[in-house]
Structure 1
Amino acid sequence: MSRLRLPAWAIGVLGTGVLVALWWLLAVTLFSGVGAGNADAIPTPPEVVRQWATDGWSFYRRNVGITLDEAARGFLWGNALALLLAAVVLLVPRSEGLVMQVATITYCIPIVAIGPLVLIIAGAPDPGDPSGTAVFLAALSCFFTTVVGALLGLKAADQAALDVVSVYGGTRLTQLRKVRLVAALPGILNALQIAVPAAFLGAVLGEYFGKVDLGIGPAMTAAQQGLNAPRVWGIALASGAVAILGFAFFGLLAQLITPWSRGGGR
């Protein structure tokens, strides 16, 4: 007797429904009346929806838009540098130790420690402009993942194919272009998929240091100071939705570009 298997989208919808129901139950029972002042720490889902309607599209367009701009710039710079260094390692193998040390250091440095230093160097942005601190922290947040993913992918190339290129007089650069890049595409796209929410989170954290007047960071800070729990939760859920959409986009891109990497079963 075959088991009933739900499609992935149905499992996602079901899981989301369970989480919302659990959230609602906890908000009206265990966490009801828990919070500073007269505000509940955990609002119910209808309260968050009403706050979304009150704030309107323009509120989220302004704040999410500037954070997306910062995250996108950091995503491009961080991943471009990571892919460049991964290629350098393949062309100059002796540089691998240095590159991995740099990548590990960037991963181990606490953002809360480096953020104020970056702010001093980059300075505060003009009103309405992206924060240089947020861009830098977004790039830093995705650098390590992409370096490691790209190196693992580039090293996964079939040795027989590399030997064929070498026999016909190809250089390491030719091997990189003809063989290694194709073999590395699944790993690189998976790394980029993970880098999307990491860059967005880095940009949000950077806004807490960057002295900016627009963005997810200052909007959430203002809502916290005003004890507006529904708005805090609404901003957090909107941020999560944006990160999930970016993650899903690169997942779909990976399926379209590298269909051979998908595992199959009977």
Structure 2
Amino acid sequence: MTIDAPVTKSPGAPAPQGSKPRAIQWEDVALPAWLTGAIGVIGIIAVWWILAATVFSNVGPGGVQAIPTPLQVVVEFFDTGWEFYAKNFGITLTEAGIGYLWGNGLALVLAALVLIVPRLEGVVMQIAIITYCIPIVALGLLLTVIVPIPTAGQPSTTAVFLAALSCFFTTVVGALLGLKAADKASLDLITVYGGSRLTQLRKVRLIASLPAILNALQIAVPAAFLGAVLGEFFGKITVGVGPAMIAAQQALNSARVWDIALASGAVALLGYALLGLISRAVAPWSKGASR
């Protein structure tokens, strides 16, 4: 009785005759990230165009097409001119930038103060929660009465305040989480050598908290821009993204309304992406950053 040894198939050997090749599945196709993003954008534009030309072609007040086609939006953008958008977005970006610096600066100072004086953590967190829970609409109406009306072309104090308020909470929470994530062994080493809480903050906590703080600052960019736009609705100003959108709505110019809305989203996204690049450069060891 003889026993045949099993035949081992080498990796490079051709497939036996009669066997069918494995069918390619969708899971096997790996597309680049930029290509999938481009396909998604093209798909959204196609669906938008079809719906605007069919279902929503006669929807709108006064017989005006409320949802214009992408071509109408592009034509209106160039007809309006670059100066219109530069003037209005320049004021709003100034308001958002000032509010961004004030809100995030105050949040970082309070977060650092909590690490030096731990008893203040409850007070600081209560302040942050209150600022997050206050309705912006109600606060905007109060500021309209308290804050003086700015001159034409000047930033609105109401918009600056709401921009700062919009990014305060997220930065406080993110900074505290990051500052508390420092390595305990490193903190104990500084304590053994006679270092104070301030020394721990400078030597260990700030470096350890950079990824969390930068993520909070990144999220604060679109929040500050949104707060500035909302503040312009209450600030009684004539120049800015908010007044420009109100004027376009009152004129029933739906294409310009969409232009301003899409441009606002693009500006917020650009600021978010810019802070993301800065985060990768400053803290390349953070999660998700490429080397």
* Residue 248 of structure 2 corresponds to residue 223 of structure 1: yes
Aligned to 1:26: 51
1:137-148 → structure 2 map (5 Å cutoff): 137-148=162-173
Q: Which moved more, 1:6-15 or 1:181-190?
A: 6-15
Q: Which moved more, 1:30-39 or 1:147-156?
A: 30-39
C-alpha displacement at 1:164, in angstroms? Answer: 1.2
Amino acid aligned to 1:245 = L
Q: Which moved more, 1:244-253 or 1:30-39?
A: 30-39
Query: Which of 1 and 2 has greater Rg?
Result: 2
Unaligned runs of 5+ in 2: 1-23
Aligned to 2:150: 125
The counterpart of 2:82, out of the listed 57, 67, 83, is 57
The counterpart of 1:157, out of the listed 163, 166, 182, is 182
Q: Contact (CA 8 Å) 2:280, 2:289: kept in 1 or not?
A: no
Q: Contact (CA 8 Å) 2:107, 2:169: kept in 1 or not?
A: yes
Aligned residues, how many? 265
Q: Contact (CA 8 Å) 1:255, 1:262: kept in 2 or not?
A: no
How many percent of aligned residue pairs carry the same amino acid?
A: 66
Q: Contact (CA 8 Å) 1:20, 1:45: kept in 2 or not?
A: yes
Amino acid aligned to 1:253 = I
* Residue 189 of structure 2 corresponds to residue 189 of structure 1: no
* Distance in 2, Cα, partners of 1:234 & 1:32: 18
C-alpha displacement at 1:263, in angstroms? Answer: 4.0
Amino acid aligned to 1:117 = L
| 1:32-63: CA deviation from partner (whole Å, max 9, x where unpaired) | 11001121110000000000001110000000
* Distance in 1, Cα, partners of 2:43 & 2:169: 34
| 1:178-226: CA deviation from partner (whole Å, max 9, x where unpaired) | 1101111101110011100000000000000000010000000000000
3-state DSSP of counterpart to 1:97: helix
3-state DSSP of counterpart to 2:285: helix
1:196-215 → structure 2 map (5 Å cutoff): 196-215=221-240
Amino acid aligned to 1:139 = A
CA RMSD of aligned residues (A): 1.5
3-state DSSP of counterpart to 1:261: coil
Aligned to 1:71: 96
* Distance in 2, Cα, partners of 1:8 & 1:189: 24
Q: Contact (CA 8 Å) 1:153, 1:185: kept in 2 or not?
A: yes
Q: Which moved more, 1:20-29 or 1:183-192?
A: 20-29
Q: Contact (CA 8 Å) 2:159, 2:228: kept in 1 or not?
A: yes
Q: TM-score, normalised by structure 2?
A: 0.88
C-alpha displacement at 1:247, in angstroms? Answer: 0.2
* Distance in 1, Cα, partners of 2:171 & 2:75: 39
The counterpart of 2:122, out of the listed 91, 94, 97, is 97
C-alpha displacement at 1:165, in angstroms? Answer: 1.3
Runs of 4+ off more than 4 Å: none
The counterpart of 1:180, out of the listed 198, 205, 212, is 205
Aligned to 1:134: 159
The counterpart of 2:40, out of the listed 2, 8, 15, is 15
* Distance in 1, Cα, partners of 2:289 & 2:102: 35
The counterpart of 1:47, out of the listed 66, 72, 78, is 72
* Distance in 1, Cα, partners of 2:32 & 2:213: 27
Unaligned runs of 5+ in 1: none
Bigger helix share:
1
Q: Contact (CA 8 Å) 1:127, 1:212: kept in 2 or not?
A: yes
C-alpha displacement at 1:246, in angstroms? Answer: 0.2
* Distance in 1, Cα, partners of 2:42 & 2:110: 43
* Distance in 1, Cα, partners of 2:225 & 2:105: 16
200 and 170 in structure 1: CA distance in 2 versus 1, 3 angstrom threshold: same
C-alpha displacement at 1:264, in angstroms? Answer: 8.1
